[in-house]
């Protein structure tokens, strides 16, 4: 079996989704951890130091390239799998099987992923692009990201968009986390139970932390 | 439970042949006993249709004991009807109330084309089995029970996977029309036993290649298959298949 045959098979395509998914989960740990520095409530000193390190140190910059490769693979493969899976039943049922055997979010990974993608475009345009443009291409001084967050999250509609984006991510993770490990072959009941619980816990904690960030600025919990 | 009779409205999918577009037809059945099986109720409707000079409704059935995997039917939005861990032939009319409308559809998947009415062509499953769902050496007659020591848990897991009757309900329930629960049951059942172990790598590769060729979708681990499976085949078999596939691809010669 050649590598081409592996990665063009249905199981191989899922393996790509799973490995990139786990990589993106690891990124979320870094992202949420670093952003949590805003709650130091020191006017952004700690947070901006972290942001400066991530933008100016060579290790995170190299990892960032890997992140974008992983993200693109996850998006492209995800869209192709979704379209392929949808094409396998031309005549639909009159009565849908619905929630009788599965959770709605496990059946809506394509939709949730699309919502996250839309949110990601907005999010990158808000923060990452202007920030990197100033760091990489030296368009003037480095942006004070903390002040930028404060400014962005003073608008209610922005806060609501970010809340909805993070909720999509949360439901995507609620299924994706445990599904990723099933796809790479974790079949032992004890680990499946553990990973499912861990997945739910991770989804709730990460989503809640991300949602609280814009609200903390909007409600002036932090200055 | 008290016996009762019921009158029912049936919305049944009718389709002359593979090429026909097909559509629902509505029928009335009267005085159906709550102790009848679902298929007996359809037999009564068919007798009624034959007496009226009409074409009987085609549906698959064989043993009517819940062990052969021939019966199918997507009843009121669930493969094999609403009872858990049950086949259509073992679904009894006490699952329904007087005056109810029951919608009956065939399995829907491009890999299971409708032949007529409620009968679908499931030969794609046979071709997946032909691709590797066997042990290719002759292992002779059954040995004495204790000659070949097998861990009890492995034997139990293998037996649980071997319970699969290949009815196709997993495909019918899956939003992706994936056959992974079926294939994984066959892969697990053989890979867990010493007789099937030597060929486990080539088996999983060949069976997945055939599954993809037949036009089944990819698994997204939603669990709909496990919930509808009449033999309650575990979703963990799919994870075991994934593990076998990953190892097979990492250790392949070329």
Overall number of domains in chain B: 2
Which member of B108, B224, B249 has the closest CB to residue A89? B108
- Chain-chain contact of A14 with B177 (C-beta, under 8 angstroms): no
Once rounded to an integer, what is the mean pLDDT over residues B22-38? 96
B78 Cα to chain A: minimum distance (Å)? 6
Confidence band of B112 (pLDDT split at 50, 70, 90):
very high
Residue B135 and residue B42 in one domain? no
Residue B139 and residue B210 in one domain? yes
- Chain-chain contact of B236 with A192 (C-beta, under 8 angstroms): yes
- Listed range (A52-61, B33-42, B180-189, B221-230) with the worst mean pLDDT: A52-61
The whole domain housing B174 covers 123-250
* Domain stop point among B53, B80, B115: B115
User: Which 3 state secondary structure label does DSSP give A105?
Assistant: coil
- pLDDT score at A121: 96
Which member of B173, B218, B235 has the closest CB to residue A97? B173
In a domain, A100, yes or no: no
* Domain stop point among B89, B115, B141: B115
CATH number at residue B171: 1.10.1060.10
Residue B74 and residue B174 in one domain? no
| Alpha carbons B73 and A193: distance in angstroms, whole number | 33
pLDDT digits (tens, 9 = 90+) for B155-172: 999 999 999 999 999 999
- The owner of tokens 């394509």 is A110
Output the six-digit token pair for A187.
């079949």
The 8-class DSSP code of residue B134 comes to S
Q: Report the percentage of chain B scoring pLDDT > 90.
A: 91
Residue B39 and residue B131 in one domain? no
What part of A 23-52 touches B (C-beta under 8 Å)?
Answer: none
- pLDDT score at A140: 63
Residue B24 and residue B66 in one domain? yes
Regions of chain A short of the pLDDT cut 50: none
User: Which residues in chain A are contacts of B173 at CB distance < 8 A?
Assistant: 97, 101
Element (H, E) at A217: helix A189-218
A4-41 per-residue burial string, b: 16 or more CB within 10 A, e: under 16: eebeebbbbbbbbbbbbbbbbbebbeebbebbbbbeee
CATH number at residue B67: 3.10.20.30
Once rounded to an integer, what is the mean pLDDT over residues B144-149? 82
Residue B154 and residue B215 in one domain? yes
Which member of A101, A109, A182 has the closest CB to residue B242? A182
- The owner of tokens 């004991």 is B65
Contact A144, A48 (CB under 8 A): yes
Q: What is the ipTM of this complex?
A: 0.90
Which residues in B61-202 belong to E strands, given as ranges?
Answer: 74-75, 78-79, 101-105, 114-116, 119-120
Residue B136 and residue B242 in one domain? yes
Once rounded to an integer, what is the mean pLDDT over residues B192-197? 90
* Domain stop point among B115, B137, B168: B115
Residue B130 and residue B108 in one domain? no
Instruction: List, in sequence order, the alpha helices (H) in chain B.
Output: 38-51, 123-130, 152-162, 169-173, 180-191, 200-213, 224-228, 236-250
The whole domain housing A205 covers 3-83+107-218
Residue B224 and residue B246 in one domain? yes
Overall number of domains in chain A: 1
The 8-class DSSP code of residue B104 comes to E
């Amino acid at each position: 079996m050649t590598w081409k045959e592996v990665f063009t098979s249905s199981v191989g395509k899922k393996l790509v989704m799973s490995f990139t998914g786990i990589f993106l989960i690891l990124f979320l740990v870094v992202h949420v951890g670093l952003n949590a520095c805003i709650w130091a409530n020191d006017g952004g000193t700690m947070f901006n130091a972290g942001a400066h390190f991530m933008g100016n140190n060579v290790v995170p910059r190299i990892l960032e390239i890997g992140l974008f490769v992983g993200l693109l693979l996850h998006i492209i493969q995800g869209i192709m799998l979704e379209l392929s899976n949808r094409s396998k039943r031309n005549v639909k049922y009159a009565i849908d099987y619905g929630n009788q055997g599965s959770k709605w979010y496990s059946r809506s990974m394509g939709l949730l992923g699309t919502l996250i993608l839309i949110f990601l475009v907005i999010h990158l345009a808000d923060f990452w692009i202007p920030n990197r443009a100033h760091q990489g291409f030296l368009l003037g001084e480095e942006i004070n990201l903390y002040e930028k967050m404060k400014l962005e999250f003073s608008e209610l509609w922005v806060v609501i968009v970010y809340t909805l984006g993070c909720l999509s991510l949360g439901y995507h993770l609620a299924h994706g986390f445990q599904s990723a490990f099933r796809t790479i072959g974790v079949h032992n009941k004890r680990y499946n139970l553990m990973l499912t619980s861990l997945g739910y816990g991770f989804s709730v904690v990460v989503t809640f932390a991300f949602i609280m960030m814009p609200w903390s600025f909007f409600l002036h919990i932090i200055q | 439970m008290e016996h009762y009779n019921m009158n029912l409205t049936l919305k049944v999918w009718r389709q002359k042949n593979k090429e026909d577009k097909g559509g629902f037809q509505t029928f009335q059945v009267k005085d159906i006993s709550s102790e009848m099986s679902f298929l007996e109720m359809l037999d009564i409707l068919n007798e009624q249709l034959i007496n009226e000079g009409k074409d009987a409704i085609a549906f698959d059935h064989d043993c009517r004991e819940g062990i052969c995997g021939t019966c199918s039917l997507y009843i009121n939005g669930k493969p094999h009807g609403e009872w858990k861990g049950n086949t259509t032939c073992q679904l009894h009319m006490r699952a329904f109330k007087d005056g109810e409308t029951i919608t009956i559809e065939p399995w829907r998947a491009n890999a299971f084309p409708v032949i007529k009415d409620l009968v679908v062509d499931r030969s794609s499953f046979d071709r997946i089995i032909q691709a590797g769902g066997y042990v290719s050496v002759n292992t002779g007659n059954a040995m004495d029970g204790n000659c070949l020591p097998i861990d009890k848990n492995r034997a139990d897991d293998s037996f649980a996977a071997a319970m699969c009757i290949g009815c196709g309900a997993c495909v019918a329930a899956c939003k992706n029309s994936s056959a992974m629960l079926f294939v994984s049951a066959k892969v697990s059942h053989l890979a867990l036993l010493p007789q099937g172990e030597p060929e486990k790598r080539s088996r999983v590769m060949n069976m997945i290649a055939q599954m993809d060729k037949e036009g089944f979708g990819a698994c997204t681990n939603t669990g709909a298959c496990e919930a509808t499976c009449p033999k309650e085949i575990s979703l963990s078999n799919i994870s075991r298949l994934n593990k076998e596939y990953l190892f097979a691809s990492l250790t392949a010669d070329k």
